[in-house]
Amino acid sequence: MTTTCLDGSFSFESWAVVYTDSYGCIQAINEKAKYYFTEPIVGQEIHKAFSWFREEWLHGAVKSRVVKTSQYDKVLMEIIPDKQQAGYTYLLFKNVEEYRNITHLWCEVEDSLIRLQPFIDNSNDGIIITNGDGIVRAINHAFSLVSGLQENDVLRKSVYELSKQGLLPECSMMYAIERKRVESSVVKFSHGKETVVSSKPLFDKQGNIIRVLSNVRDITEIKDLYEKLRSAEAIAKHYQREFNAKITSESSLNLELHRSRIMDDVYELVKKVADTDLPLLMMGESGVGKTALAKYIHSLSERNNTGSFVHINCSAIPEALLESELFGYETGAFTGAKKAKVGLFEIAKKGTILLDEIGDMSFPLQAKLLNVLQEKKFYRVGGTKMIEADVRVLSATNQNLEQLIAEGKFRPDLYFRLNVIPITIPALRERKEDITPLLAHFLEQSNQMHKRTKVFVPETLEILLNYEWPGNIRELMNVVERLVVLTQEDIIEPRHLPPQLREDRKPLVSSAGEIINDAGQGRQEAVTLWSPGDSLKGVITNLEGRIIEEAISFYGSVKEAAKSLGVDESTITRKRSRRNNSLAIARNNADMQK
């Protein structure tokens, strides 16, 4: 038999060679083998010729073993399948005793590696062993799984060559050889697995590397889990914030706290549509309670059991960031996107999202939002994975969207999509009946919260009732809390009120120019019922009006006041508006006379 080269990097020349067929029957040996095996072995089955030989070694991958033959105690055996003849195998033998001085340590290492073989084979991590030149000596099954490379692809090949061919990424296997120290690197194999490769060089006494043992851990799953963990953390944080907000606002939020007919209608409508997925557009001045109403709608809906309520103020977030806030982004979607981020649409999954100040959303983002609403799916910025948008979308604005459409700042198609059910919450000054219960509620709440027992004197109450409340419920709530905290005495008098309330207290003047309440002093003056020039009708209208206002203030509701005065609620509404008109005319006249 001749000695043949398997590949450029390996030759049989210095080896004793035994060649077997696919049945494990010895077909031939070379000259050198005759010194190793003095008995005739050609024609015998291998495991019979060598009692120490295990049959399964033939069917396994190429392996190294240190064995004992009849002639030598320590013989290195390499098992190499014949690439040209399927099933045929070369067994190469070398007496390592001959090289004792040089190879003593190497053999020990080899021995330990051989002892470790079962652990290596069964390891969940990929393992690849090279010599000091980077020639691959062994890999385990897990390495094949993680790298997509089989033994035939890599054994006896140089890791540098494999890297050049694009089969192996450049990694710590090479660095450990070059830098002669433990190295690790995070690399991605060509078929997509992301791994951490840790490489440890083993040295002989002279400090030469004899082996590099690399552990290859698949972190694709860990990365996925990490991503999922981050999403879960973001959602948990959001719930925590919601929970905290709920605890602090629970006591203050009493949405049915109203006496006005107009808010009756609002709540009736809200209850009808709460459990549908219809988009609602809430309109009203700042502070009227649009957000509070949206939360209330969510709390009435089935979505309250399945998902959370998410609120985003579109005007508070810079235009460039709003899209990624809403839909999230993937790692590397833009400069600085080092980690993927979950968007609010994902956080609100199976829940409700309120897009507040929708009128401030940029035109291009409006188009994207419309698309999401129509398709019911979206992609993270820079992402390719489609995400289902199982979210109820509520929107709110204090702007006139129709006006914005006319100015070309708002898309009409989005407007029609969002405005399926419009809900207008009137300003507090247009539903003054609601001021009394709100004042009572916030006074009690603030007293409780700050452990006080403050009360309003009637004059203070009257000013509060007549104030225009441009900041609506938010302003009212803040004013009451401030009064409770800052007033030294238990009785809150008009002088304690913040300046804007005292200044706003315009004197009410009769049609004849008489002052019928006193803004400056906070005292009620005696009213002159009639002055020369006053018409009987004008005087009666004013008087009636005062009686009506007092009754409403006393009972706290138009309904009760009407009942007590023995008239219909509609009569009261009509007479109030007539009186308001006549007071407005009187104010005008008074201003002109100044």
Ligand X SMILES: Nc1ncnc2c1ncn2[C@@H]1O[C@H](COP(=O)(O)OP(=O)(O)OP(=O)(O)O)[C@@H](O)[C@H]1O
- Which H or E run includes 449? helix 435-450
- In the bound state with ligand X, the residue whose beta carbon lies nearer, of 117 and 399, is 399
Which stretch in 52-60, 91-99, 234-242, 254-262 sits in contact with ligand X by CB under 6 A?
Answer: 254-262
Which stretch in 5-13, 74-82, 284-292, 564-572 sits in contact with ligand X by CB under 6 A?
Answer: 284-292
Per-residue buried b or exposed e for 429-465, using 16+ beta carbons within 10 Å of the residue's own CB: eebbbbbbbbbebbbebbbeeeeeebebeebbbbbbb
Give the contacts of 358 (CB within 8 A, at least 6 positions apart).
281, 314, 395, 396, 397, 401, 418
Give the contacts of 25 (CB within 8 A, at least 6 positions apart).
43, 44, 45, 46
400 in contact with ligand X (CB under 6 A): no
- In the bound state with ligand X, the residue whose beta carbon lies nearer, of 41 and 282, is 282
Q: Which of 404, 477, 509, 586 binds ligand X (CB under 6 A)?
A: 477
Q: Which of 63, 141, 474, 502 binds ligand X (CB under 6 A)?
A: 474
CA atoms within 13 A on the CB side of 23: 7
Which stretch in 171-179, 290-298, 370-378, 505-513 sits in contact with ligand X by CB under 6 A?
Answer: 290-298
255 in contact with ligand X (CB under 6 A): yes
Q: Which of 46, 266, 292, 358 binds ligand X (CB under 6 A)?
A: 292
The C-alpha atoms of residue 354 and residue 280 are separated, in whole angstroms, by 10
Give the contacts of 132 (CB within 8 A, at least 6 positions apart).
177, 201, 208, 209, 210, 211, 212
Give the contacts of 81 (CB within 8 A, at least 6 positions apart).
62, 87, 88, 89, 90
Q: Which of 253, 405, 519, 527 binds ligand X (CB under 6 A)?
A: 253
427 in contact with ligand X (CB under 6 A): no
Near ligand X in 190-249, by CB under 6 A: 249
- In the bound state with ligand X, the residue whose beta carbon lies nearer, of 69 and 291, is 291
Minimum CB–partner distance for residue 358 and ligand X (Å): 11
Minimum CB–partner distance for residue 295 and ligand X (Å): 8
Q: Give ∠ CA 564-566-570 in degrees, rounded to 5.
A: 100
Residue 324, Cα to own-chain centre: how many angstroms?
11
Q: Which of 291, 308, 511, 557 binds ligand X (CB under 6 A)?
A: 291
290 in contact with ligand X (CB under 6 A): yes
Q: Which of 96, 135, 173, 288 binds ligand X (CB under 6 A)?
A: 288
**Are the C-beta atoms of residues 141 and 160 closer than 8 Å to each other?**
no
252 in contact with ligand X (CB under 6 A): yes
Size of interface with ligand X, in residues (CB under 6 A)? 19
Q: Which of 16, 128, 355, 473 binds ligand X (CB under 6 A)?
A: 473
- Whose tokens are 């719930």? That residue is 239
- In the bound state with ligand X, the residue whose beta carbon lies nearer, of 77 and 480, is 480
Near ligand X in 535-594, by CB under 6 A: none
The C-alpha atoms of residue 301 and residue 306 are separated, in whole angstroms, by 10
- In the bound state with ligand X, the residue whose beta carbon lies nearer, of 476 and 508, is 476
**Are the C-beta atoms of residues 395 and 282 closer than 8 Å to each other?**
yes
Which stretch in 137-145, 287-295, 491-499, 564-572 sits in contact with ligand X by CB under 6 A?
Answer: 287-295
Three-state SS for 183? strand
Residue 58, Cα to own-chain centre: how many angstroms?
54
354 in contact with ligand X (CB under 6 A): no
Site map 93..112 versus ligand X, x via CB under 6 A:
--------------------
- In the bound state with ligand X, the residue whose beta carbon lies nearer, of 90 and 469, is 469
How many residues in the chain? 594
Q: Which residues bind ligand X (CB under 6 A)?
A: 249, 252-255, 257, 284, 286-292, 356, 398, 473-474, 477
